[in-house]
Amino acid sequence: MLRSILTNISFIAVRLQLVLALVVGVYGSALASGRRLSPEKLYNRGEYMYEERRYDEALEYYKLSGIDGYVDAQYKVGYFYSKGIGTQRNHKEAARWFRMAAEQGHCDSQYILAGYYENGIGVEQSYEDAMKWYLKAAAQGDDTSQFQIGALYANGHGVEQDFKEAIKWFKRSAELGNVVAQYNLGVCYANSCDVDKHEVKAVKWYREAAEKGYRNAEYSLGRCYANGEGVKQDYAEAVKWYSRAAEHGDVLAECSLGVCYEHGDGVERDYTKAVKWYKVAAEHGQPDAEYNLGHCYYLGRGVEKDYAKAVEWYRKAASNNQKDAEYSLGVCCERGEGVKQDYVEAVRWYRIAAKHGKADAEYNLGRCYLLGHGVKQDSAEAEKWFRLAAKHGHKAALEYFQNR
């Protein structure tokens, strides 16, 4: 019996040594020097190691502190795994540590965990769980979570689509200074998203976000001034806000600045500057800028007239379904400008632009059918397209019917 007891004791001792070896293997020097430290002191040592850029050692201390329930350390471990600091990036492990902290009420962890669930990062995608954690963070006054709740309602993700509820959450977030919420609230008021269209309120919220440098709001505020929506029309003020947005890389603002310089709206007309801004926006892939740049080459505005370059930019814009470019390609093919004259190709582009609602293309397509250019002559088909163009207010099409 005694021998059996001693054998069991020996076996337990060996297992305990193995466990300790495993723990030391995981935590290395941190365990050796910090096993008697409080969770707070372990965390502080981790902070020191982080400042010293000894990230792997910092992670070990954070883990020790986090295992003992120190919430800031749990968050830091999650953060290290999410960014691959001191270890390989591992979103599944990051989610596990963020959950530990979130369950203790750590606001940032609740927000991040919600985002993981919303996007299926490190966890199975679930809008319901995303909403659950956003709500917990929002209850602590987190404005970004409040905005995200609004976005879930606006998009109907995990909940029934409800713009009134979305606006309620956008407004809570906006009133706490969240620029994305302020901008989106402006969009809701401008576009009647389940609220009475209120352009003045839209301008108010665009301005709130624009004054903080949010480029979407800067552009939208400039557009309001250009169109006189919610404010008195003021092209100079529009140019001011377009310029700010363009400096922040907004492609719509870049294109709009080009339009202002081309037409002399709010600034002295300057075709060279118009081309400059069209090029900037076009190189960023903005379809309207691609078309406008092509048209400058076609007309010789701010650049030497060059039909081939015009066609090049028209094609780029047309590949993005820009109907003016589609129509212009039809014109170039019909006239042989920048390309070999080709009535069949002209008809193809007119048809594409007409299907996108371009009245000029509808009229020209009708004319091709009337004359038999690129298609078999067909008076009935010609009249069909003339009528459609006239319905859309095309002057020549209206005159066609008036003079019959």
pLDDT in tens, 371-384: 999 999 999 999 99
Fold (topology level) of 24-140: 1.25.40
pLDDT at 7: 41
Q: Angle at Cα 243 formed by Cα 182 and Cα 258, nearest 5°?
A: 120
- The pair of three-digit structure tokens given for residue 354, joined into one six-digit string: 């007409």
What's phi and psi for 268, nearest 5 deg? -70, 135
pLDDT at 18: 32
Cβ-contact 296, 270 below 8 angstroms: no
Name residues whose C-beta falls within 8 Å of residue 20's C-beta, 6 or more positions apart in sequence.
none
318: closest CA among 375, 367, 358?
358
Burial 313-326 (b: 16+ CB within 10 A, else e): bbbbbbeeebbbbb
CA 162 to CA 190: how far, in whole Å? 17
Which residue is it, tokens 């003045």? 200
CA 295 to CA 286: how far, in whole Å? 14
Fold (topology level) of 143-249: 1.25.40
pTM for this model (two decimals): 0.83
Cβ-contact 42, 34 below 8 angstroms: yes
Cβ-contact 240, 207 below 8 angstroms: no
Name residues whose C-beta falls within 8 Å of residue 54's C-beta, 6 or more positions apart in sequence.
none
CA distances from 75 to 13, 57, 80, 95, 323 (A): 35, 16, 9, 10, 51
pLDDT at 92: 98
pLDDT at 66: 97
Name residues whose C-beta falls within 8 Å of residue 401's C-beta, 6 or more positions apart in sequence.
386, 387, 390
CA distances from 301 to 96, 256, 273, 319 (A): 60, 17, 10, 23
Spell out the SS3 assignment of the chain: CHHHHHHHHHHHHHHHHHHHHHHHHHHHHHHHHHCCCCHHHHHHHHHHHHHCCCHHHHHHHHHHHHHCCCHHHHHHHHHHHHHCCCCCCCHHHHHHHHHHHHHCCCHHHHHHHHHHHHHCCCCCCCHHHHHHHHHHHHHCCCHHHHHHHHHHHHHCCCCCCCHHHHHHHHHHHHHCCCHHHHHHHHHHHHHCCCCCCCHHHHHHHHHHHHCCCCHHHHHHHHHHHHHCCCCCCCHHHHHHHHHHHHHCCCHHHHHHHHHHHHHCCCCCCCHHHHHHHHHHHHHCCCHHHHHHHHHHHHHCCCCCCCHHHHHHHHHHHHCCCCHHHHHHHHHHHHHCCCCCCCHHHHHHHHHHHHHCCCHHHHHHHHHHHHHCCCCCCCHHHHHHHHHHHHHCCCHHHHHHHHCC
CA 246 to CA 234: how far, in whole Å? 18
Q: Which regions in the chain score pLDDT beneath 50? A: 1-27, 30, 34
249: closest CA among 285, 225, 274?
285
Which value, to the nearest 10 degrees, does the dihedral of the CA atoms of residues 132, 137, 141, 146 take?
-50
CA 10 to CA 225: how far, in whole Å? 85
| The residue type at 139 | A
pLDDT at 124: 98
pLDDT at 32: 52
CA 165 to CA 369: how far, in whole Å? 53
How does pLDDT run across 305-342, given as a tens digit for each residue? 999 999 999 999 999 999 999 999 999 999 999 999 99
Which residue is it, tokens 């003020």? 237
Instruction: Considering the chain, tell me which residue range(s) the CATH 1.25.40.10 domain(s) occupy.
Output: 24-140, 143-249
